[in-house]
Amino acid sequence: MDNQKMNPVHLDPDYEPMSNASNNTRFASILEARMARRGVLKGGLAAAMTGLFGGFALTGCGSSSSSPETGVAPQLVGFKAIPVSDEDTIVVPEGYSAHVITRWGDPISANNGVFPEFDPLTNTGADQAHQIGSHHDGMHFFPIEGNDPNEGSSTDGLLVMNHEYIEPRFMHASAVGASLTRSQFPRIDSDNRDDDEVLKELNAHGVSVVRVQKGVNGTWSHVQGDSLNRRITGLTPMEISGPVRGTDWVKTKYSPTGTMTRGTLNNCAHGVTPWNTYMAAEENWAGYFVNNSPRPESQSRYGVRPSGKSRYAWEDAQSRADEYVRFNATPGDGAATEDYRNEPHCFGWMVEIDPFDATSTPIKRTALGRFAHEGVVFAPSIEGRPVVCYSGDDARNEYIYKFVSAQPYHKATAGGYLLDSGTLYVAKFNADGSGEWLPLVFGQGPLTPANGFDSQADVLVKTRSAADAVGATKMDRPEWGAVDPNTREVYFTLTNNSSRTEADAANPRTNSRWGHIIKWQEGSEDNTATTFNWDIFILAGPTDDSDFNGQPLNEDQIFNSPDGLWIDKDSRVWIQTDISEGVMNTGDFAQFGNNQMLVADPRNGVLRRFLTGPIGQEITGVITTPDQRTMFINVQHPGATTAAGEFAAGNMNSDWPDRTTNYPRSATVVITKDDGGIIGT
């Protein structure tokens, strides 16, 4: 067995290649300028935060959340905050309960008449296509009526979730006893991988659609064999739609007409359309491909590997079957339709899935741009007005985008076609708190043949380059977005940015080790405006940071690396964290413990820790049933902090959630309030 050997930076599964060499202004310097402008009175950022929180400083457990101005604000956040934790378990506040469903490997459909029970040492690649995938991420609960994504049954529905990536050492019998890190995998030899292991890894990626129901005893479980249960994987045929469809960019041996591709990969967060479909984002897909010849800008600007093997070396599957060799994008001697030089252009999109039609073909919607899509979030739809959605590009110094449909939304006829034509914009944040949406439209501004853009398809395939050209603002890794359904304000997490090393790195307010959350209000009610006003919602960090220069967070509130984000019907802001496995529970990251979830009331500044997770994982994905009395969250990659030597010795540092097997498993956690109340109260 020969372990993966390559540039160490590529060994981190969270590796977001920093590929932005443009000179656009960094968000850090803008934030600093804005804070300096606003911080003329004592308190500096505290004053800024106070403004954001409607006149009140952040408060923790025990503080009143009613507004002195009105005296009537209902208590959105009512539980007693929990402390940080480094225990290998889920902790929720007093009065709440949590239990596990839909673990990686749980069978949802039958393989040749048999539901394959989870056993990582004997399950085959084909079995995995009938089981819940690995590395759960973005997720939505679709009420079973299938009419509206947020209204309907609160006891019966489809749970649809992304499976971002895999930890191969936990998947294969051949890995037992080997010294493997979380991103390494077994090989037959330096140029060959076992076909069934490759198949299993591809099938553990993608999306699960699974029926879940609340039983008479109040306990939730999934319905094995339901007709709507479905796995979408790294192999599922998908249609390419929008301006890039049929262009030379996406013509491959598999699809010489450039209309189809196979699979979706590295699906991080998601989106839910107003017409009740699910969208899976393709985030860190670039590293799944290698191109050993000089890479075109459409690949180098995204971090397609320039040499060696792809992330999991799937191209080395011993059979050299067509569905595996495509991960090597090195051009052959013939035409583009005879090889897979264009395969990386078939990834980096938002993928629309109809969860209520198990035979439907997923569709890659190219008009929304090509980048490391963290997810997509739709503004509440308005009859007769365009559809508006937002998407962040999660890599260091990349951008935040907005799409506005060309055609208006009409509930009776709305569908995915609305995402095939419209205007893609990229955000520019000005130092004075204003912002602009810069259109990425072929022929406008610098997006002309003189600068390498010959069509809208060129603009979309090279979205990052187009955004560079128009002068967008470089951000600290944009992760999830959320839109407040009551105020229509837009929030985005900016998780951290390890590439910022200049002098201001010592200032925790701009120190991107901890991350922050930004918010803005569009200049028009329907979110279609081309200008906005922005502010900082929360700067994450510890309590004792002497450089914080403002109101510090208290023990009930400290967190870092905000990632998952969701705003519920009442405007509670749910915040999930993703401290990297490389630093989790080490050094000054140890004070934050394991990854966690908090909730804020944006009207009065109440912020409290609601949940802490087991060892080595991140908390990601959050949704409630329409009645807000059941919450689903995901736990991704428990045990990922197990060192190679510990793995070889069979000592995983987490056995969550099963306890009885040696293998930690990503899983969904169901949270209910013991008195049957709304989650968060």
Question: Footprint of ligand FEO on this chain (CB under 6 A)?
Answer: 164, 268, 283, 374, 394, 479, 563
Q: Which is nearer to ligand FEO, 164 or 436 (CB)?
A: 164
Of 394 and 581, which CB lies nearer to ligand FEO in the complex structure? 394
User: Please, which residues have CB within 8 angstroms of residue 472's CB and are 6 or more apart in sequence?
Assistant: 24, 399, 426, 427, 428, 438
Q: Are β-strands 377-378 and 630-636 bridged in parallel, bridged antiparallel, or unpaired? A: unpaired
Q: Rounded distance, CA 681 to CA 236, Å?
A: 41
Q: How far is the CB of 137 from ligand FEO (least distance, A)?
A: 6
Between 545 and 563, name the residue whose CB sits nearer to ligand FEO: 563
Distances (CA, A) of 345 to 260, 285, 341: 12, 10, 9
The pattern of x and - marking residues 234 through 273 that bind Ca ion according to CB under 5 A reads: ----------------------------------x-----
- Shortest separation between residue 35's beta carbon and ligand FEO, angstroms: 25
- State the binding partner of 283 from ligand FEO, Ca ion, none, CB within 5 to 8 A by kind: ligand FEO
Separation CA 669–CA 47 (nearest Å): 38
Measure the CA angle with vertex 647, ends 643 and 652; round to 5°.
Answer: 85
The residue (of 78 and 582) whose beta carbon lies closer to Ca ion is 582
| Cα 61 from chain centroid (whole Å) | 29
* DSSP state, residue 34: H
Residues 568-587 close enough to bind Ca ion by CB under 5 A: 578
Q: Residue 193 Cβ, how far from ligand FEO at the closest point, in Å?
A: 24
393 binds Ca ion (CB under 5 A): no
Give min distance, CB of 580 to Ca ion, in A: 7
235, interface contact from ligand FEO, Ca ion, none, CB < 5-8 Å by kind:
none
Shortest approach of ligand FEO to residue 564 CB, angstroms? 9
3-state secondary structure 601-663: ECCCCEEEEEEECCCCCEEEEEEECCCCCEEEEEEECCCCCCCHHHHHCCCCCCCCCCCCCCC
Count of other CB atoms within 10 angstroms of residue 203: 27
Nearest distance, CB of residue 329 and Ca ion, angstroms: 25
264/291 with CB nearer Ca ion? 264
| Nearer residue to Ca ion within complex by CB, 316 or 476 | 476
- Restricting to residues 460-489, name those near Ca ion by CB under 5 A: none
In the chain, the amino acid numbered 64 is S
**Interacting partner of 354 out of Ca ion, ligand FEO, none (Cβ under 5 to 8 A depending on kind):** none
Q: How far is the CB of 223 from Ca ion (least distance, A)?
A: 28
Nearest approach, Cβ of residue 478 and ligand FEO (Å):
8
Please say whether the beta carbons of 635 and 667 come within 8 A.
Answer: yes
Task: Tell me whether residue 187 or residue 637 sits nearer to ligand FEO (CB atom).
Answer: 637
Given the complex with ligand FEO, which of 315 and 479 has the nearer CB atom? 479
CB 366 → Ca ion: shortest distance, Å? 22
Residue count (the chain): 681
* 377, two tokens: 């979030």
C-beta closer to ligand FEO: residue 479 or 655: 479
Interacting partner of 618 out of Ca ion, ligand FEO, none (Cβ under 5 to 8 A depending on kind):
Ca ion
Of 547-566, binders to Ca ion (CB under 5 A) are: 563
Residue ranges in 598-627 that form contacts with Ca ion under rule CB under 5 A: 618
The answer to the question of residue 197 lying near Ca ion (CB under 5 A) is: no
**Interaction partner, residue 398 (ligand FEO, Ca ion, none; CB < 5-8 Å by kind):** none
Total residues binding Ca ion (CB under 5 A): 5
| DSSP-assigned letters across all residues of 231-280 | EE-TT-EEEEESTTTTSGGG--SS-TTS-EEE----EEEEEE-TTS-EEE
* Residue whose Cβ sits closest to Ca ion: 578
Q: Judged by CB, which is closer to Ca ion: 130, or 373? A: 373
Q: Which does 164 bind (CB under 5 to 8 A by kind): Ca ion, ligand FEO, none?
A: ligand FEO
Contact by Cβ (8 Å): 396, 20: yes
- Residue 642 region, left (φ>0) first, then alpha (ψ -120 to 50), else beta? beta
Q: How many CB atoms lie within 10 A of CB 432?
A: 12
Q: Which is nearer to ligand FEO, 34 or 500 (CB)?
A: 500
Interior CA angle at 133 toward 232 and 198, to 5°? 85
Taking alpha carbons only, the member of 368, 392, 350 closest to residue 520 is: 392
User: Where along the sequence are the contacts to Ca ion (CB under 5 A)?
Assistant: 14, 268, 563, 578, 618
